[in-house]
Amino acid sequence: MPTTVIKSNEFFYDLVTEDSKAISVSFSPSCSNCNVYIRRNGRPDTLPLGRIFHGSSRQEQLNEAIETYKDQKIKAALRALLCELL
């Protein structure tokens, strides 16, 4: 099963990986940064781990996030979002 991308609104996306990792991505309205939050075990009742990425566009921000994470499934989920935004 590929990554599921759910658009909540113009600035917020939820991603679910093949192994049920829940990833939330929120973009700032000014497009200056994005936040990536990961719930490692996929459970909604746990606190997510988050990172912030800067760039002049959503594409730059997601590319920075893709380069930063080591987990291939997280990278694939972020790439799926990037493809959907292009």
**Range(s) of the domain holding residue 12:** 4-85
Distance CA 74, CA 84 (A): 15
Q: Summarize pLDDT for 17-38 with one digit per residue, the tens.
A: 888 788 899 998 887 899 999 8
Q: What is the model's pLDDT at position 46?
A: 65
Q: What is the model's pLDDT at position 45?
A: 65
3 state SS for the chain: CCCEEEEEECCEEEEECCCCCEEEEEECCCCCEEEEEEECCCCCCCCCEEEEEECCCHHHHHHHHHHHCCCHHHHHHHHHHHHHHC
Residues 6+ apart with CB under 8 A from 35: 24, 25, 26, 50, 51, 52, 53
CATH of the domain at 79: 2.40.128
Q: What is the model's pLDDT at position 30?
A: 82
Arithmetic mean of pLDDT, 59-83: 91
The percent of residues above 90 in pLDDT, for the chain, comes to 43
As for how many domains the chain has, the answer is: 1
